[in-house]
A and B are shown apart, each in its own frame.
Chain A
Amino acid sequence: MPLLEFTDRGIYCPLAGVYLDPWKPVDRALITHGHADHARPGHTHYLCTEAAAPVIRYRLRLENNLQTVKYGEPVVINGVHFTFHPAGHIPGSAQIRVEHQGEVWVFTGDYKLENDGVSEPFELVRCHTFITESTFGLPVYRWKPQQTIMDEINGWWRQNRAEGKVSVIAGYTLGKSQRIIGNVDTSIGNIFLHGSVDNILDIFRAQGMVLPKTQRVTTQHKKQDFEGSLVICPPSAVGSPWIRRFLPYSLGIASGWMSLRGARRRRGADRGFALSDHADWESLNTTVRETGAERVYVTHGYTEIYTQWLREQGLEAHAVKTHYEGELSEMVEGEEKTNPDPVEEQENTTGGTAT
Chain B
Amino acid sequence: MKNFANLFTALDQTTKTLGKIDALVDYFRQAPDADKLWAMALLSHRRPKRTVNTTLLATWASAQAGLPLWLFEESYHVVGDLAETITLLLPPPRTASDESLTYWINFIRALEPLTIEEKRAQIYDAWSRLDHTERFVFNKLITGGFRMGVSQQLMVKALAKHTGTRETVLAHKLMGNWTPDQNTFTQLLEEEQHDISRPYPFYLAYALEDDVTTLGTPEEWYAEHKWDGIRGQIIVRDRQLFVWSRGEELVTDKYPEYTVMLDLLPDGTVLDGEILPFLDDRPLSFNHLQTRIGRKTLSTKLLREVPVAFVAYDVLEWGGTDLRERPMHDRRAILETICAQSHPVLRLSALVTFATWEVLAAERLRARELVSEGIMLKRKTSSYRTGRRRGDWWKWKIDPLTVDAVMIYAMHGAGRRANLYTDYTFAVWDQGQLVPFTKAYSGLTDDEIRAVDRWIKQNTLERFGPVRSVKPELVFEIAFEGIAKSSRHKSGIALRFPRIRRWRQDKPAAEADTLESLRLLLDER
Q: In the assembled complex, which residues on chain A have CB atoms less than 8 Å from the CB atom of B65?
A: 139
| B80/A140 in contact, CB under 8 A | no
Q: In the assembled complex, which residues on chain A have CB atoms less than 8 Å from the CB atom of B415?
A: 261-262, 265
Q: Which residue of A lies closest to B16 (CB)?
A: A270
Q: In the assembled complex, which residues on chain A have CB atoms less than 8 Å from the CB atom of B16?
A: 270
A266 within 8 A of B: yes
| A140/B78 in contact, CB under 8 A | yes
Q: In the assembled complex, which residues on chain B have CB atoms less than 8 Å from the CB atom of A142?
A: 88
Q: In the assembled complex, which residues on chain A have CB atoms less than 8 Å from the CB atom of B74?
A: 138, 302, 305
| A260/B13 in contact, CB under 8 A | no
Give Cα A264 to B81, complex, Å.
Answer: 13
Q: Which residue of A lies closest to B149 (CB)?
A: A265
B89 within 8 A of A: yes
| B414/A312 in contact, CB under 8 A | no
| A309/B71 in contact, CB under 8 A | yes
Given contacts A140-B88, A261-B12, A271-B13, contact A328 B419 (CB under 8 A): yes
Instruction: State which residues 183-231 of B face A: CB under 8 Å.
Output: none
Give Cα A112 to B419, complex, Å.
Answer: 21
User: What 0/1 readout, one digit per residue, does chain B (78-119) give for beta carbons within 8 Å of chain A?
Assistant: 111100110011000000000000000000000000000000
User: What 0/1 readout, one digit per residue, does chain B (414-430) give for beta carbons within 8 Å of chain A?
Assistant: 11111110000000000
Smallest CB separation, A306 vs chain B (Å): 10
A139 contact from B14, B75, B417, Cβ within 8 A: B75
| A140/B450 in contact, CB under 8 A | no
Given contacts A139-B71, A139-B89, A140-B88, contact A257 B78 (CB under 8 A): no
Q: Which residue of B lies closest to A272 (CB)?
A: B13
Count residues on chain B whose CB falls below 8 Å from chain A CBs: 30
Q: In the assembled complex, which residues on chain A have CB atoms less than 8 Å from the CB atom of B450?
A: 332-333
Q: Which residue of A lies closest to B15 (CB)?
A: A270
Given contacts A138-B75, A332-B450, contact A261 B15 (CB under 8 A): no
User: What 0/1 readout, one digit per residue, does chain B (4-35) give for beta carbons within 8 Å of chain A?
Assistant: 00000000111110000000000000000000
Q: In the assembled complex, which residues on chain B have CB atoms less than 8 Å from the CB atom of A263?
A: 416, 418-419
A340 within 8 A of B: no
Instruction: State which residues 379-405 of B face A: CB under 8 Å.
Output: none
User: What 0/1 readout, one digit per residue, does chain A (194-223) give for beta carbons within 8 Å of chain B?
Assistant: 000000000000000000000000000000
Give Cα A264 to B14, complex, Å.
Answer: 11
Q: In the assembled complex, which residues on chain B have CB atoms less than 8 Å from the CB atom of A305?
A: 71, 74
Smallest CB separation, B71 vs chain A (Å): 6
Q: In the assembled complex, which residues on chain B have CB atoms less than 8 Å from the CB atom of A117?
A: none
B418 contact from A260, A270, A271, Cβ within 8 A: A260
Q: A140-B89, A260-B79, A262-B413 are in contact. List 18 more A-B contacts (CB 8 A).
A: A138-B74, A139-B67, A139-B71, A139-B75, A140-B78, A140-B85, A262-B80, A262-B81, A262-B416, A262-B418, A262-B419, A263-B416, A263-B418, A266-B420, A305-B74, A309-B71, A312-B68, A332-B450
List 15 A–B pairs whose Cβ atoms lie within 8 Å, in order of A's numbering: A140-B75, A257-B419, A260-B79, A260-B419, A261-B84, A262-B417, A265-B415, A265-B416, A266-B417, A266-B420, A268-B15, A302-B78, A305-B74, A309-B71, A333-B450
